Amino acid sequence: MVKALLVAAVSSGQGKTTVTAALARKLVRLGKRVRVFKCGPDFIDPMLLERASGAPVRSLDLWMVGKELCSQQLAQAAAEADVILIEGVMGLYDGTPSSADLAREFGVPVMAVIDASAMAQTAGALVHGLRDYGPVEMAGVIANRVASEGHTKMVASSLRDIPLFATLPRQARSLPERHLGLVLPDEVQDIDALLDQLADQLVFDQEAWDQLRDVHIDTPPPATAQEALLAGKTIAIARDPAFMFLYPANLDTLRALGATLKFFSPLADEAVPADADAVYLPGGYPELHAEALSQAANWTASIRAAHVGGMPIVAECGGMMALADTLSDKAGAVWHMAGLLPGAVSMQARLAGLGSQGLPTAQGVLRGHTFHYSKLATTVDPAAYTIKHPSAIQGEAWYRAGSLSASYFHAYFASNPAASAALFLRSAT
């Protein structure tokens, strides 16, 4: 038994991540063992939540991750922690499946975050609607951006039978953001001081906390042993500030498949490791580091040599952008990239791709998602297209250029380990 909450809201922008981070840090400082999860596909919020909680943050998603792996991860967390916090995605009922679907599947009560800055008694109508529409079990409310004690009392009285669990005042300084979301924690010089400040300002009702019911997380059957399809293979993985959008489950899957992982930094002009059998270039922010990448001669020469030699190279989103001929940044400056995939990448003012998608393969569908603000103009014909979920319409292009597989699609390897292994083998088609 463990205390567990799904932290949700009526929409994005209500402060879910800030509140979840503040609550996690506060509970840790009170001596609680806290595990945090993020609902839905996301790379950046989990980095902040990991910093706040001091423990790894994994993804929960009934479609992309699957019920079985979600159950395994929750059961492991319940065995190790006093408190499980799950940050929802978008609004409580948005998406197929939604955060509400996840809460109901595992019997986790919902903690609603509301931006109270422009409302008072209407908060009650909003929260009761969130509870009853599904319905979901509503544990309580955390009111964000409250203005005063009087404001807090008005919000609390409007909630009727739903407790006001905590409040957080308006912040003079918010967590910094950029086009793909929050700025990465390591880029914020005093991030721990900021998280401590948020924890200090989060005022929560101890009695309401004590009354939260324990949640029973069923222990699933042991997972089937994974066939070591990558035994004896060494996979070189780019990991630095330009390439950091990587699901921890992807690394777990590659290791379970038998691969040895070696990390290197293109941004530091490190060459692909000499003993690599394959290369994995995850997404990230190459557009913020385009000048440095364009001048990284060792990196460029090594990835070109790997390509000429027929080494499997898997490039997702930012990884693909760094392998095009050129990359135009947000200021309009054009930088030469590695040139493995003919074409030009340009940053856009608006979102160019978003949502859950699946890639059809010979081993079945490989699930994942897309989220990008750039476009690729190329003469290369796509070898395949992903399929958007749940609409089933055509999604992102999947390119093959020699031994290179490249797309804006971010794959979640654990959704289909056999298909993932095939990407890193010379026999992949």
Residues 6 or more apart whose Cβ sits within 8 Å of residue 159: 123, 124, 127, 141
CA-wise closest residue to 39 among 16, 23, 14, 15: 16
70 an active-site residue? no
Residues 420, 189: Cα–Cα separation, whole Å: 37
Contact 171, 194 (CB under 8 A): no
Q: Which of 60, 114, 235, 317 is labelled catalytic?
A: 317
- Longest distance between any two alpha carbons in the chain, whole Å: 70
Give, as one character, the DSSP assignment of residue 185: G
For residues 376-393, one letter each, b for 16 or more C-beta atoms within 10 angstroms of the residue's C-beta and e for the rest, the string is: bebeeeeebbbbbbeeee
3-state secondary structure at position 61: coil
Give, as one character, the DSSP assignment of residue 42: -
Q: Which amino acid is at 306?
A: A
User: Where are the extended beta strands (E) located within 256-340?
Assistant: 260-264, 278-281, 313-316, 324-328, 334-336
Q: How many CA atoms lie within 13 A of 375 on its CB side?
A: 6
DSSP-assigned states of every residue in 328-349: E-TT--EEE---SEEEEEEE-S
The two structure tokens encoding residue 409: 């699609």
For residues 82-118, one letter each, b for 16 or more C-beta atoms within 10 angstroms of the residue's C-beta and e for the rest, the string is: ebbbbbbbbbbbbbebbbbbbbbebebbbbbbbbbee
Contact 294, 382 (CB under 8 A): no
C-alpha dihedral over 244, 86, 98, 389, to 10 degrees? 20
Give the CA distances from residue 256 to residues 231, 250, 262, 362, 412, in Å, rounded to whole numbers and listed in that order: 9, 10, 15, 21, 14
Residues noted as catalytic: 317
